[in-house]
Amino acid sequence: MIFRISCNFRQYVPTSRRRTRAKAGRAADLAVNGVTCRGKVLTLDSMNPNVRRVEYAVRGPIVQRAVQIEKELREGVKKPFTEVIKANIGDAHAMGQKPITFFRQVLALCSYPDLLEDNKFPEDAKKRARRILDACGGHSIGAYSASQGIECIRQDVARYIEKRDGGIPSNPDNIYLSTGASDAIVTMLKLLVCGEGRDRTGVMISIPQYPLYSAALADLGAVQINYYLDEDKCWGLDVTELRRALNAAKQHCKPRVLCIINPGNPTGQVQSRECIEDVIRFAKEENLFLMADEVYQDNVYAKGCKFHSFKKVLFEMGPEYSSSLEMASFHSTSKCYMGECGFRGGYMEVLNMDPEVKAQLTKLVSVRLCPPVSGQAMLDLVVNPPLPDEPSYERTAVLAALAEKSHLTEEMFNTVPGITCNPVQGAMYTFPRITLPQKAIAKAQEEGQAPDMLYCMKLLEEEGICLVPGSGFGQKEGTFHFRMTILPPTEKLKVVLQKIRDFHLRFTQEFS
């Protein structure tokens, strides 16, 4: 007879005793019947402390609760609603947007080349698929690619950038394909972060910010330097505020990086050319590396607004800037009119990077072998899409629908007492300010949570709508917000907006 002795005794040891042992440096070894059972090697006390500091509100507690509620609905639990609407994240297809037919046709042909003999597929899709397959090892997207990405796709990216920027040259060797823009952003931050104590790298990020940045900085042990966007000026960026944040940070770190998101996430603003010029001058004066997150560059809706790439403005400002300012810009297949989040395709272009550092960047990306080849193929279609005179062209309708929904969202929220919404100039989100009663604020403080977290959690429980509280993105002290995507289909978006309106009035009355 075989007796099995469980060694998982630490689950029975009180937390206070575990912490005492960890602090005292004693081994958590227990002996039962002469058998020594060692404690876990990896515990909260022994794990990387930087990871514990990471927070990511976009998939935080509210989203986890939304998943639980969906399960409860499937199991027949009665709720005041029949579905959970996840308006927390910019996932276009999950919100009902149909994939661009041409993109999926080409990816289908690449995945199963036998379909190239099928006459159901248009010739322009077959031509693109053959070109991509010819660039793959063994003519298969199942093969590894070069670590920097497939060469012909990097060439297409360079041509796309040149066309976008009015002929300003782009070198394919400065293009790095990536697993979505997020992967490239984190990779670049890894290169930039160094030092200890007051010499630790400081990275300037906008508040409100996209939580990828704060999470990556916590993970890397960098210093987060907050600069605040001006909500009263449609989330405008003022260089005076950049300088204030920089000077304050110099007391405890070494500022080296300035991150800009344009069009903005979560705030939806589009920066003017004048603002971009001011930012570039500031970055050069202060010797900062500039990171330009431009993944929403096609999503511009407001009259009088236009997307200007940082690279284009940089070169038009002359050699004084274009020959010296170090910069990386980022784009993705996940946003704009495509919404192909799951393929995880993206790129970054680096400018004025020291050749020896560039060699280190290439080494760093090679550790992960290569980005997903299917994502690279998708990116090639994004930067080299069907032209208006080709059989497959759907871009205009998608962007027109997003523009309509951006206006609808702004107008609806601004009719609700206690909600103030800036124009959604671009991107895919709105970030309205909400006025909360003092009793609600006090209740949230009693429960140890942010007031807008209380608001959003209650909205989820009562209406089945999943939003992200503004506290997850950062906001000025004493103000409260939530981020909501404008991606749901128009009729569903109207329902979402009406539910939020009704809830806000009810919430205000309940706590007044």
Flag whether pLDDT at 98 surpasses 50. Answer: yes
Return the H-helix or E-strand segment holding 145: none
DSSP string of 170-196, one letter each residue: --GGGEEEESHHHHHHHHHHHHH----
- pLDDT of 509 over the 70 cut: yes
Question: Does residue 54 carry a pLDDT above 80?
Answer: no
Contacts of 89 (CB under 8 A, 6+ apart): 58, 59, 63, 468, 485
Q: What percent of the chain has pLDDT over 90?
A: 45
Scan for tokens 């906008």, then name that residue: 206
Tell whether domain 101-163+356-393 is in CATH 1.10.287.1970: yes
Long-range contacts of 458-463 (CB under 8 A, 24+ apart): 458/503, 458/507, 459/500, 459/503, 459/507, 460/62, 460/65, 460/66, 460/69, 460/84, 461/65, 461/69, 462/80, 462/503, 462/506, 463/80, 463/81, 463/499, 463/500, 463/502, 463/503
Mean pLDDT of the 284-299 span = 93
In this prediction, residues 301-328 reach a mean pLDDT of 93
The predicted structure's pLDDT at residue 15:
42
pLDDT of residue 162: 95
Whether 175 has a pLDDT exceeding 80, the answer reads yes
pLDDT exceeds 80 at position 18 = no
How high does pLDDT run on average in the chain?
Answer: 85
Flag whether pLDDT at 491 surpasses 50. Answer: yes
pLDDT band at 22; cut points 50, 70, 90:
very low
Q: How confident is the model at residue 16 (pLDDT cuts 50, 70, 90)?
A: very low
Q: What is the pLDDT of residue 372?
A: 86
Specify the pTM: 0.82
Chain-centre distance of CA 511, in angstroms? 34
5 pLDDT more than 60:
no
Chain segment 371-430, per-residue pLDDT in tens: 888 889 989 998 988 776 654 456 777 888 888 889 999 999 999 999 999 998 888 889
What's the average model confidence in pLDDT over 487-496? 89
Position 9 pLDDT exceeds 80: no
Look at residue 401 in the predicted model and tell me its pLDDT. 84
pLDDT-above-70 percentage for the chain: 89
**Is the CATH code 3.40.640.10 the one for domain 55-98+180-343+395-512?**
yes
Residue-level pLDDT at 241:
95
- pLDDT score, position 122: 87
- Residue spans in the chain of domains classed CATH 3.40.640.10: 55-98+180-343+395-512
H/E element, 29: strand 29-32
pLDDT range class, residue 27, cuts 50, 70, 90 = very low
Tens digits of per-residue pLDDT, 432-453?
999 999 999 999 888 888 899 9
Asked if 305 and 273 touch (Cβ cutoff 8 Å), the reply is no
Q: Which residues contact residue 94 at a Cβ distance below 8 angstroms, ignoring those fewer than 6 apart?
A: 86, 341
- Does the structure show a pLDDT above 50 at 283? yes
Instruction: Reply yes or no on whether the pLDDT at 69 is more than 60.
Output: yes
User: Over the stretch 215-241, which tens digit does the pLDDT of each residue have?
Assistant: 889 888 899 999 999 998 989 999 999
Q: Print the SS3 string covering 196-243.
A: CHHHCEEEEEEECCCHHHHHHHHHHCCEEEEEECEHHHCCECCHHHHH
Average pLDDT, stretch 336-352? 87
Q: Report whether pLDDT(14) > 50.
A: no
pLDDT in the model for residue 480: 92
Place of tokens 């009719």: 415
* pLDDT value for 34: 61
Distance in angstroms between the alpha carbons of the first and the last residue of the chain = 69
pLDDT at position 101: 85
